[in-house]
Structure 1
C-alpha cells in the first residue's frame, strides 16, 4: 500500500494513462471507445450522466477533496498558515491568469478567436503534480505546497469562468442549499468523537453526496463540491479520510480521469489554415504561465514575505510556472465551451492546448530535474560535511 501512496508511482500511472487515451482516441477503435464515454448511466428520468461526466465531475471530486484537505492543513498548521504566506501563491496564481490572457489576446484581439481568452488560464493539478513527482525528487516541500496552492486557485478561477461565462444560468437557490449542506457537513465532522460516531459517519456520507448533486444541478462545476467539503471538514477526521482515500484516488480515479480526458482526436488542420486561436494558446500556456507565475511570484515574495518562510529562488518560481502551463483538462473543456458551434476553432484550440501543454511538460521536466538535482547535491554536501565534522 505504501507504493500506492508514493508520489512517483501514481504519477507514472497518470502520465501513462493520458498517453494511452491519446493513442486509443486516434486508433481504429477510438470511435467505439468515445461512444462508450458518451453513453449515459444513472437513474433514467431522474439523474443521468455520461460515463465521461461521471469520471470528470464525479470521481474527480474525490481528488479535489483529497487536495483540499492537504491545502486546509497547510493553511492552518503548515507552510501557508498566515495570510501573508497564503497571499504569495494567490498573487502568483493571479499572474498565471492575467499574463496568459494578455498573451492570447495579443494574437487574437479583434478576431473571431478572441472569445477563447479563458482557455490558457487553467492549470491541471493532477498532471502538474504528476510531473513534479516524477522529476522533482529532492525538491523542498515548499515548492510543492506553493504549486499546490496556486494550481488549486487557478482551477477555481477556471471553474468560475465556466460558471459565469459558459453557463446559461446558475441556480442560486440550489447553490445556497449546497452551501448549507457544506456547513452541516463541517459541523457534524466535529462531533465524530461522540458515541454516535457510526450514525454521524452515515449522515456525513449523505451530506457529501447531497452537496455534490446540488452543486452539479446548480450549474457550477461539480468538482468544486470536493474542494468545499475538504476545506470544511474537521482537520483530524479529514486527514484520516485523506489517508484512507489516497491509494484509490492515485490508482483508480486519476488514471481513469487522465485516460478519459485524453480521448481527444488530434485535429487534422494544415499549417496555413491555423488561426490565432491555435497560436495564442500555443504561446500563452508555456510562455504566459512561466512569465506570469514567476514574475508575480517574485513580486509577491517582496511585498508579502513572511520572515518565517524561506523565499523561493527565481529558478524554483520558473519551474513552478512551467508546471502551471500544463493546462490540459480544464483548458480542453474551456475550448469546447468558448467555441461551441464553431468546429474549426474548437479543433484548433484543442490542438493548441495539446501542443502547449506538451511543451510545458518538456520545459517543466527539464527545469524541475535541474532544480531537484541541485537540491540533492546540496543535501549530499551538507551530509558529507556533517559526517566529516562528527569524525
Structure 2
C-alpha cells in the first residue's frame, strides 16, 4: 500500500499500463481484446461498454479524489489566497491558450477543430512522479508553483468536461443530482462530528444516487465525483481520499490508461491525421511556451519574489504531460469519430512522452543547479 501512495511508482505503473495497451492493440490478439472491452453490460439506460464503465464510472472516483485535493488547496493550501494563486493562475492561462492556438492552427483547417480542449490538461500524477524521480534539491517555492499550476490545469479540464460535453441536458435529473449532493454534504458534516458506520453507508448510497442522476442528466458522469469531492466536509473527505488512493493508483488509473491506449497504430497508406500532429506539438511545445511565457510576464506584472527562467521552463515542460485527463478529453471530443479518436489518443501518448522526456531533463538540470547553489552557500563562511 505504501508503494501505491508514493509519487514515483503510480506514475511508472500508469505508463506501463498505457504501453501495454498500445502493444496489445497492435498484436494478433488486439482485435479480440478491443472487442472484449466494447461489450455492453448493464440495464437500460446504463447499457454501457466496459470501456465506458471505466471512463464514466471508475474515473468518477478519480475525480472525487482530485476535487478533494482542490478543496484543500483552495481553502487551506497553496491556492488559499489570491496573492499566492495569482502567478500560477497567469501561467496556467498561458498554458491553456497557447496549446489551443497551436492545435487549431494545425488541425482546424482539416476539420478536426472539436479536439481543441485535448492539449490543455496536465496529469498531476505524472508531474509529481517526475518531480520525485528527478527533482531532488528543488526549492519549495518551485514545487509549490508546479503543484498549484497542475491543480489549476485540472480545474480547467473539469470545467471543459462539464460545459462542453453535456448532451441532451435533463434539468430535472440535474436538479435531483444537486439534491442528493446537498444531502451528501450534510451527512458528511454529521460524520465530521461523530463517526458512525451507518452514516458511512448513507454517504455511499447518496454518492451512487448523485452519480446516477448526473449520468441521466446528460452531464458527463465524472462531474458527479467532482461535485461530491468539493461538497464533502474536509476532514472525512481527506480520510476518504487516503483510503481510496491505493485503489485509484493501483487499479482505476492503470485500467483507464490500458483501455484508452488500445489503439491500432495506422500502417500502410493510412498515415497520421492533423489531429495527431496538432496534439503532438501542442502538448510539449504549446505548454512549455505558454506556461513559461505567461509566467515570465506575470512575474513582471505582479512583482515580488521571482522564479528563474529555467524553473519556469521546467514547469512548462512538466505541464505538457497531459495523459489521463487529455486521454479522457480525446475520447469525449471525438466520441462519434472512432478514427479521429484513435489518432488523438496516439497524439496524447506521443506528446506526453516527449513532454515527459524533456521535463525529466529540465527538472534534473534545475535540481542540480539548486543543489550546487545550496552546497556553495553552506561552504561560504
TM-score range, shorter chain: 0.7 to 0.9
Which residue of structure 2 lines up, in the alignment, with residue 353 of structure 1? 348
Give structure 1 stretches of 5+ with no counterpart: none
Which position in structure 2 is the counterpart of 1:288?
Answer: 286
Q: Partner of 1:260 in structure 2?
A: 259
Structure 1 residue 85: deviation in Å? 1.8
1:311-349 residue CA offsets vs partner (Å, 9 max, x unmatched): 433322222221222233444444455456656655544
Distance 1:332 1:69, change over 3 A: closer
Structure 1, 191-200 or 25-34: larger mean CA deviation: 191-200
Any idea what SS the aligned residue of 1:58 has?
helix
Helix, strand or coil for the counterpart of 2:48?
Answer: strand
Cα offset, 1:290, TM superposition: 0.9
Alignment match, 1:82? 81
For 1:11 and 1:339, how far apart are their aligned partners in 2? 26
Contact 1:156 1:224 in 2 (8 A): no
How far apart, in 2, do the equivalents of 1:146 and 1:112 lie? Answer: 36
Q: Which runs of 5+ in 2 are unaligned?
A: none
- Aligned residue runs from structure 1 range 154-173, under 5 A: 154-173=153-172
1:99 Cα deviation after fit: 0.9
The answer to whether the aligner puts 1:326 opposite 2:321 as a matched pair is yes
1:363 aligns with 2:358: yes
Cα distance change of structure 1 residues 71 and 157 upon mapping to structure 2, 3 Å threshold: closer
Q: 1:118: which partner in 2?
A: 117
Aligned-partner Cα distance in 2 for 1:168–1:51 = 20
CA separation in 2, counterparts of 1:338 and 1:4?
31
Residue range with higher mean Cα deviation, 214-223 or 262-271? 262-271
Deviation per residue, 1:343-374 (Å, 9 max, x gap): 66555444433332222121112112222333
Query: Cα offset for 1:204?
Result: 1.3
Asked if the contact 1:277/1:348 (under 8 Å) is kept, the reply is: yes
Query: How many Å apart are 1:154 and its aligned residue?
Result: 3.2
Q: Is the 8 A contact 1:75 1:86 kept in 2?
A: no
What do residues 219-245 of structure 1 show as CA deviations (whole Å, max 9, x unaligned)? 222222222222222222122222222
SS at match of 1:361: helix
1:269 deviates by: 6.2
| Correspondence list, 1:1-391, <5 A | 1-42=1-42, 44-45=43-44, 47-194=46-193, 197-268=196-267, 270=269, 276-304=274-302, 311-339=306-334, 345-379=340-374, 385=379
Compute the TM-score of the two structures, normalised by the length of structure 2.
0.86
How does the TM-score come out when normalised to structure 1? 0.84
TM-fit CA distance, 1:181: 2.5
